[in-house]
Structure 1
Amino acid sequence: MADMKMQSRVGMALVSILFTIFALGQCSDQVPVVIWSSESSLWQAQDAPALGHVVSGSQLVTYLSSAISNGPHSVFLFLQDKLSLDDFTMYGGAFGNKQDNAFPNLEAALEMAPSSLVLPSVDWHASSAVPALLQEKLETSPVYLEPSTLRQLRLNHSISSLLVLRLPYTTSTQFMSPKEMLSGNDEVIGEVLSILKSQAVPYTAVFTALRPSRVIREVSLAVENLGRSLLQAPPKPAAAPHPPVMFNNLVGPCILLWAENLTMSHVRSGGAPVRFELTSRTFGPGASVSLTGSMCNRTHSRLVLNYGEVEGYKDFKVIFVMNSRRYPVSAQHWFTLDNVEIEYNGLKARFNGSRQIYAPQNYSFHCQSVTSFRNPLLVPFSSSDNATNWRVSFTEFQIQGFNVTGPSFSYASDCAGFFTPGIWMGLLSTLLMVLILTYGLHMLMQLKTMDRFDDPKGASISVPQTE
């Protein structure tokens, strides 16, 4: 027991030294750290830092150590990718517009918590090491949770636990603004707090980020570009992406589809291939597609794109069929894109995508390229099927058929594999260098010295002389 306490103290000392080293770095960026607990009197009123003071790593160690030592040992860490005080200023209700608040659950938790501490400015190198400090102090490994599994959460307050929820945030999301992303993260925090309240479990919660965001700086740079410029053409604004196709049932939106490019080609017997460019007819202000025949429920979704007559093909339709199933191994529901069907002139071509196109039910699916001919994700059902005469190509394809909450996609499950071309090139180059080194060492080990002429004890060589 004494050895374990000594190891724990040594570990804490190492973490404190790590925080101190981070604090000594010259960095002007800060990240806010918000801490609250269901227990009272964890901090004194004088413990709060002065206005404008940047909390160092050693000071943050003191705050967190006091919370864990005197408070509950069930700790929730809401870890966002990026966060700054500017986010609370622009999108929060405490400093901004109370009617348009992106943090209602967080602010309500701080108001009702018996103990709370807000550190507006913390050195972001120190805040990024918060998971290591909590793990070392609680002497337990972190458990990473997904928003879809929160309802299955069961806590035991007699056991120390560190539960981590990663909350994404980015200012360059294509379909979601920073405010929408922050509001979605706040809803996750509210769901966790409601579960804790229903189970009556004492807890301590920490909300912070790994690095600062750039809300105000990006706005200021945009304003600076409005000034007068000499001998320089004004920059052209980037074209806004077209909104996704959205099908609504009686309750609300239930299917979303988006692609940067939708193209198909049909090879007719004895003729040149016919190319179909469907992007402009599907998305944007000039879209003329009809969604008649589409439907959705909890386990089945069917999106029908009716184009009418296209390139001489009558009743041209593209149909996406998705199904949701529960898999006991992962203990959650997954959806698959089972069929992509093309109907025209009373004929049908069917592709199967269930082997490659799938994602958790609460997520959307995204892939940079979905084709039926090069690295195909869509495969004809049989060699005799009419689909063998078709080539389908979707660029930046994204689809969601379940748990749609609005006109924006949920977090995307991407089709990109781990072994990218860059990784393969690095592995092959390393393997080639290892083979060359091995061959060189083998050649050096095979070298033998010449001892016939250097050995004085050996027989002499007589050379006959001729006159």
Structure 2
Amino acid sequence: MATERILHLRRITTSLAVLLVLFSTINTGNCDAQVPLVLWASEGVSLPSQSPPTAGHIVGQQQLAAYLEKALSAGPRNVLLFLQDKMSIEDFTMYAGAFGNKQDSVFPNLEGALMSSLSPLVLPAVSWPASNAVIGQLQDHLETSPLYMDADTLSQLRLNASSPALLVFRLPYGVGADLMSAKEILSGNDEVIGQVLSVMKTQSVPYTAIYTALRPSREAASLSMDAGLGGGRSLLQARGGYKERERERERQRKINEKALIHRPVEYKEGEDTCILLWAKSLTVSILRSGRWEDHDLTSDTFGEGVSPKLHGSSCDQTKSRLVLNYENVLGHRSFKLIFAMGQRHYKVSARRWFTLDVVELEYDGAKAAFNGSRNIYAPAEYSYRCESVTSFRWPLLVPRSSKDPANQWRISFEDFQIQGFNVSGGDFSYASDCAGFFTPGIWMGLMTSLLMVLVLTYGLNMIMQLRTMDRFDDPKGPAISVPLTE
């Protein structure tokens, strides 16, 4: 009994220390560019001891791969990956209970799992392009394909401790949501985690669990700095170049407006158009000797009188494949840009959706593949449009794994639009845009309007409460006398 009590106190102390590290990292570095990652094992299973990074250190893709490889080398090979759309360290510091107090926390199930785990690992700051590659890294380590599931379907699955499995549970995050709705969404995600862990406990199968996100939920500051909007000092230093930048923007705007009259890339199967692709600009880059070499493919793909070679393309009711063939690109005589799309019916939404599964670069017999199915999707009868689709700096296209040659390549589209199914009349269908509807500006306007309505309502209520006197003094009557007493 004494030994069990000592082990239990040791677990609690370790978990509290982990939570303290998690909560204390709010001021370490720029949190806008990273996401947290939490790793633990089922109760009674010990993972290899790993030292967390120092405060302020950002875990990159290679270092994260080393952490995962060490954990899976001796730990359970049934992996539960809870992949949230967006998450930042602020989500824990704002909503997690202090020192594991579940009454004040929206993460009681997560904190309970950490408390019961013998060797949890918390990485407060992971480069979110690295977190995007977690699925590919786990797939390489486990040598198995990921299964996208929910708690209900998991209860129908029978796992085997001797056979590796990678189970992915997608968790939402409110885009543009206020604090209350974000708290409710995170609380709902924690309930999903609790349901999944309960199912795994009933099956008595040891597991390794990972909780992370695709991108940070706090992006405004970084975006403004990247756009050159947040540095007052830089504006003062660059005041002389303001007019020059404005002229360049105006020139680029006119070029873009002129480019809009050009037709998109169009692939026909017989007489019917089945694939459409358009972008204002298309650039590919390769890393050589520590430097990025760029090649602009816009003029070879889009424009008046341009007809790119599309041999190798195909389309049917469930799959579409668009192949753009080039020559002499970045030193490669043969170069292909391939878009592979799929269409399937999803029971949850009761409709068909299409996804851009892979964007592939094929050059002189070698291949580099970027996964886009997690971020680029739309209803099957719509087209997909996004202002920027890149494999770097807020990427929507990510390499399949850390070992994929795609890590040596970059691809960038500006004003990207694609449709691989249900094309009618040779024109794009209604576009499903990647941008959220409730932007910060819209929320500011709604909150200001609500505040003004409340002030007006309060003022009208005060006016309605005014009452006139129902009795008045009679000036002709006797005056009121007040006797004086000594």
**TM-score interval for Structure 1 and Structure 2 normalised by the shorter chain:** 0.3 to 0.5
TM-score, L = length of structure 2: 0.40
Q: Which has the larger radius of gyration?
A: 1
TM-score, L = length of structure 1: 0.42
